[in-house]
Structure 1
Amino acid sequence: MENSLDNLLAPSLRQSIEVNLGKSTLNKIEQRLMERHGMGIAQAIKDFHKFDSVLREFFGAGADGLETKFLQNIIDLKQQKKGIDNWVTIKDQILAKIFLESFADEDKKAIIGTVLDESLIIADILEHCNVPQTSGYRKINQLIDNGLLISNECAVSTDGKKIKKYETIFNNVKMDIEKNVVVVKIQLKKRSFQESTILQVIPN
C-alpha cells in the first residue's frame, strides 16, 4: 500500500535527486535498483528504504547527507522531525502551487472537502459534490495524479468487484503567499506521517 506522503513527495524528490547527482549517476542507481529490487527510481522513492540501500552502495555513509540535501528544498526538515501534530511545511514551489491551484478550483475544492473525513468511491464523490461527471472524473484523476487524493481501501460492488475508495492525504491545509513565495503547511493524517518511508529514512 502506498504511503500518501511518499506519493506526494515522489515527483519533486526524483527531480531533486537528478539535480544533485546528475543524470549519469541516476541512471546507474536506477540500473542497480532494477537488478536488486526490480523497480525504477520513481517506484523506489515510494519505498524509500530500497532506494536508500542502493544509494549506500554508491556513497556509503555519505548517503545520509545526500538524502537530507535531496529533501531540504522540498519540505522543512527541522519542522517534520518535531512532528508537531503531523504538520509538514512544503517548500517546493511546484508542489505548493499544486495545492494553491487545487483549492482555487471550486470543483476540486468541493471534491477535497467531500473526502476530508471519509473515503468514498468516485461515483459517490461526484454525487456528493454535484459536479458534472466528465469534468468531475478528470479533476478527481488530476488530484490523484498530483498526490492529494489516495486510495487506502476498497468497496465491494453488488457483483463482487472491488472499487477503490479515495480520501485526502491531510486533515488540514494552511496556505500563505509571502514575498511572492507560496507557503503551504499540511496537517497529515496520522498514518501518513508515521508510515512515510521517506521520513523514516531521513537522518536524525
Structure 2
Amino acid sequence: MDTIRNANDNLEPGERTMLACENKLPRHAIKSALAISKDHDYTLWIELYEHSLAEKIIDIYSDSVKRKILLHIDKPIAKDELLEKCGVSLSSAYRKFNELLHDGFILPVGYTKSEKRVRVFDKIISKAEFSVSTKISQIRLQVNLSRLPKARLGVVYP
C-alpha cells in the first residue's frame, strides 16, 4: 500500500513505473511484471502482466456472488447490510465475503458511529479492465486512493 501511495505522490500524469514481483512458484524463476501508472486525469492504475495472477483476478470478477458484493460497495458499509443488499444465500455470501477479505479486495476501514459499534468495510479497486490472450494477460485495476487504509507510525502493512 505504501508503494501505491509513493507512486501517487511521485508520478506525473502520463507516467508509469515498473516493479518486479518475485514469483513464488519454484519452476518459474521469472519475475512477474507489475506497473503503476497515472492517467492524465490523475487516476492511479495497477497493471499486472502475469497469466496465473490474471486468472485469479478474472475468477474473482467472474464469480456472480463476489461480483455482486463488490458492486454493492459504494461507500464503507457493514458486512450484514452489504450481504443483505446482494440478494443471495447468506451462507454463500458470507463465505464469498470472507474470501474477498482474505484476498485483499475488501478491507476493514473503521466502525459505525452508533451505540452499537459495527465494523465497516470498503473496497480499494473501483474499476477493473481485462485483456486476455493465449500468451499474455493484462489487467488494469483502478485504485481509489481515498479507500486505502491510512499508514500509521510503527505499523507495517503486509
Which TM-score band (shorter chain)? 0.5 to 0.7
Output aligned runs, 1:103-182, within 5 Å: 103-115=61-73, 117-156=74-113, 158=115, 160=116, 162-182=117-137
Distance 1:98 1:183 in 2: 12
Q: C-alpha deviations, 1:67-118, integer Å up to 9, x for none? A: xxx9x62412xxx2x4221011022434322220111111111001001x21
Change (3 A) 1:184 1:150: same
Number of equivalences:
130
Q: Which runs of 5+ in 1 are unaligned?
A: 7-11, 20-69, 197-204
Over aligned residues, Cα RMSD in angstroms?
3.3
- Select the structure with the greater relative contact order (CA < 8 A; seq sep ≥ 6): 1
User: Aligned with 2:120: secondary structure?
Assistant: strand
1:156 CA displacement: 4.5
- Number of the residue aligned with 1:24: none
Q: Contact (CA 8 Å) 2:50, 2:136: kept in 1 or not? A: no
Q: Which has the higher strand share?
A: 2
Tell me which structure has the larger Cα radius of gyration.
Answer: 1
User: Aligned with 2:112: secondary structure?
Assistant: strand
- Number of the residue aligned with 1:87: 45
Distance 2:147 2:34 in 1: 15
Distance 2:38 2:103 in 1: 23
- Number of the residue aligned with 2:142: 187
**TM-score, with length taken from structure 1:** 0.53
Report the identity percentage.
Answer: 16
1:123 CA displacement: 0.4
Distance 2:54 2:23 in 1: 19
1:155 CA displacement: 1.5
User: Aligned with 2:118: secondary structure?
Assistant: strand
Q: Which has the higher helix share?
A: 1
Runs of 4+ more than 4 Å apart: none
**TM-score, with length taken from structure 2:** 0.67
- Number of the residue aligned with 1:73: 32
Distance 2:62 2:119 in 1: 26
Change (3 A) 1:90 1:18: closer
